C-alpha cells in the first residue's frame, strides 16, 4: 500500500500515484532543478477521501450534461464546491 503523502522527489511519484504535475515536479526535483519545497498528496489519498465522505455521487451529478470540450463549463459547475 502506497502512503498518502510522498516526498516531492519520491521515486514512487508517477502519473498514476500523484498525477501529471506531481510527476513532473518529482522529475525536476530529482534532476536537481530549482523547485519550491513541497510534498505530494497521492491519488490513493484522494480516492479514500472521496469514498469515506461518499462524495462520488455528488461529483458525478455535478458533471451530468457538462460539455467536456469546454473547460469553462468545469469552472461553472465547480463554483458551488468552492465555498
Q: pTM of the full predicted structure?
A: 0.74
How much is the pLDDT for 22?
A: 96
Q: What are the cell numbers at 8?
A: 516531492
Give residue limits of the domains in the chain: 1-52, 56-83
- C-alpha 32/C-alpha 18 separation (Å) is 19
pLDDT in tens, the chain (83 residues): 778 999 999 999 999 999 999 999 999 999 999 999 999 999 999 999 999 999 999 889 889 989 989 888 888 888 876 55
Rg (CA), the chain: 16
- C-alpha 81/C-alpha 62 separation (Å) is 10
Amino acid at each position: 500500500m502506497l502512503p498518502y503523502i510522498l516526498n516531492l522527489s519520491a521515486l514512487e511519484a508517477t502519473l498514476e500515484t500523484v498525477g501529471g504535475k506531481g510527476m513532473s515536479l518529482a522529475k525536476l526535483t530529482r534532476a536537481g532543478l530549482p523547485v519550491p519545497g513541497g510534498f505530494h498528496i497521492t491519488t490513493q489519498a484522494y480516492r479514500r477521501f472521496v469514498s469515506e465522505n461518499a462524495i462520488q455521487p455528488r461529483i458525478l451529478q455535478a458533471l451530468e450534461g457538462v460539455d467536456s470540450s469546454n473547460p469553462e463549463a468545469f469552472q461553472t459547475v465547480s463554483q458551488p464546491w468552492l465555498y
